[in-house]
Structure 1
């Protein structure tokens, strides 16, 4: 009997519940057991896992590596997909391999290049991939000069942290004075330049920002699966233009993404993001981890998480190509079950779970699906 593949995802994004679903629905019908750890007890990733633990707080990167090695040994982890403290973890790949755990992550040299966006832009430009103009700023004076230069070129300026993930810290600069217009409707990423300058001058520590022109849509995120031989096995672009999403295999996006993945050894799963600067695509960001939207490639008939796990275990899936491109779509939110718990502020008659301590491990996904099906039958609606 073939033993289940044990996969661990550490403190990761909520969207990776879909990553976990796809591993369980793999085309080989191989049993997969998923372990998850997180700092938030209400993370849906914990609820969706077969076994789950809360991560200890306050660990240094070195301390977290020791914690991770212990988790892998105690849980018999075959494949570890690290997000938190990825750079520290991949530096100890040999120790994880000695414990029988494969890391689904690039080597430390590749991770280091893309931790700092300035280093990344310089390295990527050196291999011929276009990047937007940028200024690294740490003071109010540097910010004003960069904004003025961009405005002289006819562009609207924006800034973001030189290191960071996703859109955290991204803001667009406006010359409009702060007024009620900024308080109407939904919060805006636009901030008046004088307020930013004032905040910088009052700050005790300098910032480390990248100032760039605001790049235009479409935004294209190319998901890549790359082998330890630096050869890309799969590259598919996911397009975003407002609410509309879609897929592309156009080489104007895929060729530079492959070049980056192969040149820098972005082994296993990575995500290369582009936007438009004037009339050409330029690099926006590179993620050395699975993208939160990776599961959307299921609409193209491919199970990328499973292909990545196979590759990590030494079972090379070979070059992959989607059998078709899915139709355009949009993204909406939906409910996912959480670990049962009664919050202190809930009235007993409104509590959605008995007032008992949460179990050490959440119910398996199959049990949750059965409960959802029973509830749907009671309501007379189709089960999810």
Structure 2
């Protein structure tokens, strides 16, 4: 039996655990999970769960390593504080636990800070990136907005270090504030509203003021070997509402191959791109399983299990995703233990 530990994951880790258990090789697994909320949905499929303490840096890595030692964990699949875990990877080597994480620290650090990774990409021809500027004062925000607008771009902004859509806003100066009050919550804001809010402080955490990409958005779930050799790439296009389409798009598969060859990201990672004027431009790369990975698995590829095989040093055979699939999801009631 193989023991796997997952720390503070998204709720969709519930699906990953079930997929790993439901594997074609008949492998048996025991899952361990920690989270500050003992009733978090990510823990429901785990066999053992514990409350995670509020620690940072080396102390957090030491907590995870001690947990692995106490429970004789074979494989640790981290999400929270991946950089700190990779920085102190020797702690896990010492207790004999494999870790599904990128050990290239400069690369891992760059991928978690969006502008730093964009700068890394500038020196390559791997993928186009949006026009952007990084700001940390209200006046710099105003100047960046004006410069990018003068170049003909619609503008959006987001923190340089954030997961998912946290802090992301689109500038739309044609919004009607009264209509907004009676409508749905929106990601749009006017320049004046954003500038006024940012002016509440002399300086704020770095924001990327950037070109708003208005075309189709794709999330590409990738599977790679321990050495970073790409084994599969599954583009998932965001469609209307909750619909997603799994599509074989040659230029996106080519971008995935180029990124894999350039950076050698191991196991599982996710590339997010969006088109503008027919050109796919990079939004970000996440060096982990994505929140929507379970939808990409409808291609017939059990990505979580194959990533586990790769992390355990086992061979992964040929992978042939099925495309042309439209998919969605619905809520399902669960009893909290």
Question: What TM-score bracket applies, with the shorter chain setting the length?
Answer: over 0.9
Displaced runs of 4+ in structure 1, greater than 4 A? Answer: none
Which one is further off, 252-261 or 275-284?
252-261
Cα distance in structure 2, aligned partners of 1:68 and 1:260: 30
Cα distance in structure 1, aligned partners of 2:38 and 2:215: 36
1:138–1:208 CA contact under 8 A, matched in 2: yes
Deviations 1:63-84 (A, max 9, x none): 1011001110111111111111
Cα distance in structure 2, aligned partners of 1:233 and 1:110: 20
Answering whether residue 51 of structure 2 is matched by residue 48 of structure 1, we say no
Cα distance in structure 2, aligned partners of 1:251 and 1:177: 37
Cα distance in structure 1, aligned partners of 2:162 and 2:56: 18
Answering whether residue 109 of structure 2 is matched by residue 131 of structure 1, we say no
Deviations 1:117-158 (A, max 9, x none): 111112123221111111111111221222223322333211
Match of 2:152 in 1: 154
Cα distance in structure 1, aligned partners of 2:81 and 2:251: 33
Answering whether residue 78 of structure 2 is matched by residue 82 of structure 1, we say yes
Answering whether residue 56 of structure 2 is matched by residue 60 of structure 1, we say yes
Query: How many residue pairs end up in the alignment?
Result: 334
Match of 2:110 in 1: 113
Give the structure-2-normalised TM-score: 0.94
Please report how far the alpha carbon of residue 30 of structure 1 lies from its aligned counterpart in structure 2 after TM superposition: 0.9
Runs of 5+ in structure 2 lacking a partner?
none
Please report how far the alpha carbon of residue 203 of structure 1 lies from its aligned counterpart in structure 2 after TM superposition: 1.5
SS in 1 for 2:73: coil
Runs of 5+ in structure 1 lacking a partner?
340-384
Please report how far the alpha carbon of residue 262 of structure 1 lies from its aligned counterpart in structure 2 after TM superposition: 2.7
Match of 1:33 in 2: 30
Cα distance in structure 2, aligned partners of 1:171 and 1:103: 35
Cα distance in structure 1, aligned partners of 2:176 and 2:83: 40
2:21–2:29 CA contact under 8 A, matched in 1: yes
Please report how far the alpha carbon of residue 92 of structure 1 lies from its aligned counterpart in structure 2 after TM superposition: 2.2
Rate the CA distance shift 1:218–1:227 in 2: closer, same or farther, 3 A: same
Give the structure-1-normalised TM-score: 0.83
Cα distance in structure 2, aligned partners of 1:80 and 1:262: 25
